[in-house]
Structure 1
Amino acid sequence: MKQNILKVGSVMGLLLLIGVFTSCNNAKKENNQELGNIASIEETIEKPAVELRKPIVFITGNDKGNSHFYDSARVFFKQKNYEVINGKYSVEEIISWMNENATKNPYGEVHIVNNNNPFKAMALETVVNGEKVTTETLQKAINEKKLPLVKTEAITDDTKIIFHSNQLAANTNLVNTLKSAFIAENKVPQIVASTYYNVFGGEFSNHYLAKPYYVFYPTANSPGKVDLSKEIAKKYPEEKEIVWFDALNNERERYIGEPYTIQHTVPVNLELDYHNSDNEIPQFEMQEEIMDFIASEEDLLKEVQKTNIPLEKFRWTYVVKNSKLKIKGRSSVLCVLKPLTKPYGDLEHVKPDTNNKRLYAMK
């Protein structure tokens, strides 16, 4: 009997202890849940969203000849009710304007319109009356502290600096350098650019994008459109939709999506000073001799390679002045543009949506 009573007592005691532990665990869970709820509430009321300013647009150049790029861009963005700023032709002026006109609301979208030649420096100055923007010249201006710093209140990490240029996104080093120019202390804006050409003022769309295809020849020494069409067809065998000879002879988009050709001229200026050199200044009689000489001089060859145009596609001349050898090259670039059109539905251009990662790259 006593043993039974002891067993019953032990079981009752064990049940009592289990009940105590269970109630403690439940209490802890309730407390943790209450703390979690409090933390969740604090997160939702932590900070109000910052209201960003309406988009602004910098028109960074003036049209020359028959071009209407800048005028058409100005009209396009005014129709969107964006604030348009004219007369700012350098990175220095753009940043200064942003600083001088900063408010409690940071900039949301900063559009920069620049009609650049992808084979040359940008048509945008680093500082007022300074060098044109390249990776090297812009980095130099940053290192020498010639550019103003963007005010911290002017931008956020959500600010977008959108470049409406030609194939700028293909130059990753330049895009990264542009990004560093617009950093404000610990706030880093996003740089948005496209690998396509930006076209403003088209007959069928005020703004559209076009894919470029290139063929080169030494200026004033064209082999003719027939040979050029064969060369470009060989260069881009995957492109089956373009009739190259027709495209090279077409100067405008006559129907939506029709390929057409624009032309660039790319100069190269090379110089060697023989003042303190034991070598004689070379003399050349043929183009091939000049090209062979450039190929043998590492620094000169690097300057040509920066253009991404083959050495033999330049027309070369030279002069000797005092102790300096000056070599000049000029290449003509025929650029076939194929406007981007929708692959379905009515024939129309693809909308240049800067949030579309297939059209624009974001750094």
Structure 2
Amino acid sequence: MRERLLAAEKTTSIEWRGDHLCLLDQRQLPLQVVWQRFDSAASVAQAIRAMVVRGAPAIGISAAYGVVLGLRERLNRGGDWRAALDEDFAILAGSRPTAVNLAWALGQMRERLARLKPGEDALAALEAQAVAIHQSDREANLAMAQFGVELIRKFNSAEQSFLTHCNTGALATGGFGTALGVIRAAHLDGLVERVYADETRPWLQGARLTAWELANESVPVVLNADAAAAHLMKTRSISWVVVGADRITANGDVANKIGTYQLAVLAMHHGVRFMVVAPSSSFDMAMETGDDIPLEERPAIELLELAGQRVAADVPVFNPVFDVTPADLIDAIVTEKGVVERPTADKLARLMSRSRLH
């Protein structure tokens, strides 16, 4: 399966060029494929904040490269580069509050910085660490895809229909994808009859990104309005809802794109299995429950306008971009370390104590 997955890789959104970072501007898709160049930590932080790059793993990887760019800039300026680099860490850390992969990646970069030996090339060391974070995420994607397919086959080895939300593919990660990676692998394994993609308001990641990725790979995909999910589950024989995660707490609660929670409630009612796919870097084991997760709210303009055109009445707006799905609504969490069915705090603690299995 691994070789088939590698052969199927077609899309990437992050390219490290040694002295600068290139990101595929996901705001322009699917109408244009536009790459942007970034040369500083501040510009990478702004790219994360402005949604040039999005998806929890991709945000973490981009931030790691942002630290490298910050160090390069600080070394060129001279002076106390360590103190100055702290400013770059703070700017990057504040770019998006919910996705824990961001904090995890920056923590990895800080830890490597702390282990520098006297006379060691700091820039080379941090660049190697950022590249390792990128490559590790790609490997995690491949492992999760294989675990996810095994889980799907456990319940049904025939072609079946899936529902997914937001975008969790190659655009959102360092490689094959998380939830969409499982679906892509299931397609390669002959398990996919059809994939229904929620449009995912207000940024339309499902309509613009997920549908684009799947169509480019000839995976049968149907786009639907978010509000059609219950009707789909009732009438179209959906087997699985498969989603990603921006943060998973110690008890198995999951923060993900707004609308995920209602899908889990609907899935429970209709007897549809609910799978969360996320790397171990998305786990925040220091946070007990989802009640403690900081949930980002974004500007009102995102709901009031569409492509720069006013589409709504001039009224107050509530625009949270994440919600929390309780663990008791989740059938399985798939990680690169393995699968936990019906997650609990004890099960997840045992999972996180393992080494990576693939």
TM-score category of the 2 structures, normalised to the smaller one:
under 0.3
Task: Kindly indicate which of the two structures has a greater share of residues assigned to helix.
Answer: 2
Q: Which has the larger radius of gyration?
A: 1
Q: TM-score, normalised by structure 2?
A: 0.26
Q: TM-score, normalised by structure 1?
A: 0.26
